[in-house]
Amino acid sequence: MTDTNTEALESQAAEAEADGQEYVLVAMGEDTYRVIPQKQWRISFLRHLNEGDFEEWANCVMHPEDAERFIAVDPTLDEFKDFSKAAAKASGDGLGKSSGRRR
């Protein structure tokens, strides 16, 4: 990562902190997005995702400026899958297999 990219990420992190919401920075391609850590997502955010409403999901979990850019990029399903994994990792969560039901 170049010094310019590092400075840009630090600037984004400071801006996110200033608006009162905690975000993690997640890269997709050449862009970086501010995303609320997954443990802070509301059930309604997941409902949007499960219903395939990616635009509303982005509006809920991303900084407003970043959600607009994310929607405009119109990522492929593979790009979204990679983005989701990176968001989970940045949040300290994993997207591994869930454990089976307990009896």
pLDDT band at 20 (very low <50, low <70, confident <90, very high): confident
Helix-helix angle 43-50:54-61, to 10 degrees: 150
H helices of the chain, where?
A: 3-18, 43-50, 54-61, 64-73, 77-91
Q: CA angle, corner 31, sides to 80 and 82, nearest 5? A: 25
| Cα–Cα nearest to 39, from 51, 23, 50 | 23
Query: For the whole model, what pTM was predicted?
Result: 0.71
Please give the average per-residue pLDDT across 23-27, as a whole number.
96
CA atoms within 13 A on the CB side of 20: 0
pLDDT digits (tens, 9 = 90+) for 70-102: 999 999 999 999 999 999 999 887 655 555 555
pLDDT digits (tens, 9 = 90+) for 36-69: 999 999 999 999 999 999 999 999 999 999 999 9
pLDDT at 8: 53
Q: Report how far residue 101's alpha carbon sits from residue 82's, in angstroms, rounded to the nearest whole number.
A: 27
**Neighbour count for residue 44 (Cβ, 10 Å):** 10
